[in-house]
């Protein structure tokens, strides 16, 4: 049975308080989430030998999260990943969005959902308590049309699963692609690398990218390439190959087209710690997953282990719609319309 505690985490420069919610199950697995950015600050996972590991990168200091540019642990929106040229056209009207890296709109722009103060409240059902985070994104925020009402429900279960269920409604057609951006290190966040982790991704294709990290529109098969994770292999095995796609991104930073099943939740993949003591499986209702190997980590300050994180000390598995979908007619439609409900779910299961 999940129990949640609420405590103060810090204060924003404008005086608004930021609360921290601690979710804990009977196995003493614990998730700590703050209202600023909906950030998952800690994820403490039990091992068979009775010890525990914090498996997500992050800070103890709110100011570092305010300054952070890595999206450590944050909820991402209004559109996760990139929209090319920071613009799209819908029904003949062009919408100019906030531009950040390489002239694209990445993760909702410079002041995306990761830089906003969410409102947290505790709810309860037969499975125990759950955390609901709400954010109301105003019409025109970062250039996106329509008022968007977003609710993310976070649950921690007795079988050591943490789930994120995203719901959103709008009063104008708007692209919506919500995700979660934790950097995982299953060796423990105080470990210095993730290249020894084994990874499996349940996808036969990636969406190929150009020099600006935007999909070309081509679906490329992974068979026989460095991107073939259909069976478990270490992240470091092929990461330094001269493959053009790896060179562009400085490693892995690509969207996999997930294989679909008849189940409500599709199996997206699995990661295994370097010492084989911890496994994490990912299930989602979304059609894609971005695997980012932490190629450019620039910490705002010391992490929880009181040292500066370096490149490839954490990896992300961001379940999502495909990048740049508003500009790619043959990608899944990401325009949420008035009267519709955006409803997506992702679960991370630990063994």
Catalytic residue numbers read 181, 318
**169 to each of 7, 110, 172, 192, 303, how far by Cα in Å?**
29, 23, 9, 41, 36
Instruction: Give, in order, the Cα–Cα distances in Å from 36 to each of 24, 52, 66, 112, 244.
Output: 20, 26, 8, 12, 37
- DSSP symbol at 57: -
Identify which of 119, 56, 113, 16 has the alpha carbon closest to the alpha carbon of residue 303.
56
Residue found under tokens 């059609």: 287
The set of residues, in sequence order, having a beta carbon less than 8 Å from that of 42 and lying 6+ positions away, is 30, 31, 32, 54, 56, 58, 304
Residue 54 near residue 43 (C-beta atoms within 8 A): yes
Q: Whole-angstrom Cα distance, residue 82 to residue 313?
A: 23
Q: Quote the CA–CA distance of 93 and 88 in Å, as a whole number.
A: 8
**Residue 319: enclosing H or E segment and its boundaries?**
strand 316-320
Q: Residue 219: is the preceding peptide bond cis (ω within 30°)? A: no
112 Cβ neighbours under 8 A, 6+ residues apart: 76, 77, 78, 142
Closest CA to 43 of 165, 179, 183: 183
CA 344, CA 287: separation in Å to the nearest integer?
10
């Amino acid at each position: 049975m999940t129990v949640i505690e609420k405590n103060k985490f810090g204060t924003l420069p404008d005086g608004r308080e930021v609360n921290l919610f601690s979710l804990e199950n009977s196995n003493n697995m614990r998730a700590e989430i703050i209202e600023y950015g909906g950030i998952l600050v800690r994820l403490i996972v039990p091992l068979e030998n009775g010890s525990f590991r914090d498996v997500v990168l992050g800070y103890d200091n709110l100011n570092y999260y305010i300054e952070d540019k890595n999206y450590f642990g944050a909820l991402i929106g209004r559109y996760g990943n990139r929209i090319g040229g920071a613009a799209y056209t819908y029904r003949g009207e062009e919408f100019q969005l906030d531009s950040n890296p390489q002239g694209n709109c990445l993760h909702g722009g410079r002041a995306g959902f990761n830089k906003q103060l969410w409102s947290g409240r505790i709810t309860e059902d037969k499975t125990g308590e759950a955390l609901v985070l709400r954010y109301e994104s105003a019409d025109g925020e970062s250039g996106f049309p329509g008022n968007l009402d977003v609710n993310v429900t976070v649950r921690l279960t007795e079988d050591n699963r943490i789930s994120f269920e995203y719901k959103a409604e709008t009063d104008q057609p708007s692209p919506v692609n919500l995700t979660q951006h934790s950097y995982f290190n299953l060796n423990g966040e105080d470990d210095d690398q993730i290249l020894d982790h084994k990874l499996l991704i349940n996808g036969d294709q990636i969406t190929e990218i150009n020099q600006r990290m935007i999909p070309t529109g081509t679906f490329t098969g992974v068979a026989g390439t460095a991107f073939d994770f259909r069976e478990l292999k270490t992240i470091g095995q092929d990461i330094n190959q001269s493959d053009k796609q790896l060179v562009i991104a400085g490693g892995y930073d690509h969207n996999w087209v997930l294989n679909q099943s008849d189940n409500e939740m599709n199996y997206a993949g699995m990661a295994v710690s370097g010492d084989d003591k911890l496994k994490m499986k990912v299930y989602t209702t979304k059609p894609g997953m971005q695997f980012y190997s932490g190629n450019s980590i620039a910490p705002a300050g010391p992490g929880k282990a009181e040292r500066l994180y370096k490149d490839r000390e954490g990896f992300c598995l961001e379940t999502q719609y495909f990048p740049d979908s508003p500009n790619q007619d043959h990608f899944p439609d990401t325009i949420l319309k008035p009267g519709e409900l955006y409803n997506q779910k992702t679960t991370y299961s630990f063994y």
